[in-house]
Structure 1
Amino acid sequence: MSDPIAEPIAAVPYVIIDRDGDHHLVGSRCAKCGATLLGRRVACAACGANDSVTQVRLSDKGRIRTCTVVHRSYPGVPVPFIAAVIDIDGGGVVRGTLRGPIPSDPVAEVGRPVRICVEDTGQRDALGRAFYSQVFRPLEAAA
């Protein structure tokens, strides 16, 4: 990806886009209380410590905390889709889209293991660069 116009852009600040294709989520971990939070932080939101927070790479696995089927969205966003909240293995929580078939009972999806993937959103900026963000895939279908 030597062409800067072809380089993808992270749609959110906690998505890291690596040149070698090793895209992932980043978080912060507090050495004082052990909390792990999504995104880079200068202080711990759990205990308030401002001298013990370090940046960490977050796991690419998690479990569905909750989800719902979205039937109405912004113009240009295809519906229906599944909006989900994921508890990341090792700490942290992230929201995004669960890929795959629309479930007849979204409540039955709670607790299901997922892989957290960073993928092209299909959106482009004025220079044609792709925006990348997190999506979730059922673990058995993520390979």
Structure 2
Amino acid sequence: MSARVPLVDYLVLAGDPHLTAHECTACGARFFDRRNACAACEGEQFRQVDVPTDGELRAFTIVSFAAPGVPVPFVAGVVDCGGTSVRANVVNTPADPEHVRVGMKLRLTTVPVGVDADGVEAVGFGFEPAS
């Protein structure tokens, strides 16, 4: 099997793929990037937690103009995963209002991003319809 690497450090590929977040031990706020202090309460202690892989679409936009080489249209959304907001693309469904709606149930999925000259595959993530 070829080597696979996650596109972002908070995507875990081992076992069942999932996301991890830094959770403030004082107030429970969650962040995907590294923090020196919590933006919500100024706490300075964090623990790493797994983010649920199922979620609900809270907001979205259909992107029809993008950088050269990026296929359009695509759906960019905000997914509520058990109280953690995740910004990600909605994939594996047509990018139109007949197939994408606020409140739809989604689940995390991985997507290939590219392969380098050594055969190492970069893997990203998105959310697809749960049904």
TM bin, normalised by shorter chain, reads 0.7 to 0.9
1:60: how far off? 0.2
User: Matches of 2:33 and 2:81 in 1, distance apart?
Assistant: 13
Q: RMSD in angstroms over aligned alpha carbons?
A: 2.1
Structure 1 partner of 2:13: 17
1:74: how far off? 2.1
Identity %: 35
Given that residues 3 and 119 in structure 2 are in contact (C-alpha distance below 8 angstroms), is that contact kept between their aligned partners in structure 1? Answer: no
- Correspondences of 1:1-143 after superposition (within 5 Å): 1=1, 6-18=2-14, 20=15, 22-51=16-45, 53-89=46-82, 91-99=83-91, 100-104=93-97, 109-121=101-113, 123-140=114-131
Unmatched 5+ stretches in structure 1: none
The 3-state SS of whatever aligns with 1:79 is: coil
Per-residue CA deviations over 1:2-34 (Å, capped at 9, x if unaligned) read xxxx2111111211221x4x2211102222112
Structure with the larger helix share: 1
Give the number of aligned pairs. 130
Judged with a 3 Å threshold, the aligned counterparts in structure 2 of structure 1 residues 126 and 42 are, in CA distance, closer, same or farther, namely: farther
Unmatched 5+ stretches in structure 2: none
The 3-state SS of whatever aligns with 1:65 is: strand
Structure with the larger strand share: 2
